[in-house]
Amino acid sequence: MLEATHKIVRKILSIAFYVIAGFFLYTVTGLAFVNIAAIKTAAPPAAWMKLVIIATFAVPGLISLLIGLAITRFQRWKRDVGIVLVSAGGATSFVAVTMVCFLMSPESKRYFPPDAPDMSQFFGDLTAGIVSVVTSIVLGVLLIITSRQKGTSAGDAI
């Protein structure tokens, strides 16, 4: 009975760390859409600054993911990592489509001050954003598929 309780606690803790990792990875894929050159400052930001900002969110995401995997003793790690990647990519896709619909609406301009910069330019790095989202989803799906090819059930975690 005590062992079953430990398994449940490990599973709940690992899911909590996976959710934290998913949030950070969602943020990383969302930041890929930011056009750093569109930020108006006294001195234009360096191109590598975007990578520093993305790395700032990627590191805690990867650490949270590793902690979640360590809690479950790396059992079914491909499935778990795949689910986190697909979830992060899916959430980013939803938010990106919502932002495009909002920013394309002529009525949305009423909510911004007249001297506000064009937000579509701020989120204008579509190439990096789309590549980031597609890569996250494809890698996640491939990990899930390869984890299921071994003939094990998805419900046998831990």
Contacts (Cβ under 8 Å, ≥6 apart) of 2 = none
**Where do the structural domains in the chain lie, given as residue ranges?**
2-148
Decide if pLDDT at 14 tops 60.
yes
- List of residues 6+ apart from 117 with CB closer than 8 A: 38, 40
pLDDT band at 153 (very low <50, low <70, confident <90, very high): low
Between the two ends of the chain, the Cα-to-Cα distance in Å is: 15
pLDDT for residue 40: 73
Is the CB of residue 89 less than 8 Å from the CB of residue 143?
no
Tokens (6 digits) for 136: 């996250």
Comparison of pLDDT for 99 and 42, the residue scoring more: 99
Predicted local confidence at residue 109, as pLDDT: 77
User: What is the pLDDT confidence band of residue 150, given thresholds at 50, 70 and 90?
Assistant: low
Cα angle 12-14-19, degrees, rounded to a multiple of 5? 95
Question: 124 exposed, middle or buried (CB, 10 Å; 0-12, 13-18, 19+)?
Answer: middle
Q: pLDDT (tens digit, 9 = 90+) per residue, 57-77? A: 999 999 999 999 999 999 999
Give the model's pLDDT for residue 151. Answer: 55
CA gap 42, 20 in Å, rounded: 35
What pLDDT, in 10s, does the model give residues 84-117? 999 999 999 999 999 888 888 888 878 877 777 6
Give the mean model confidence (pLDDT) for residues 19-26. Answer: 97
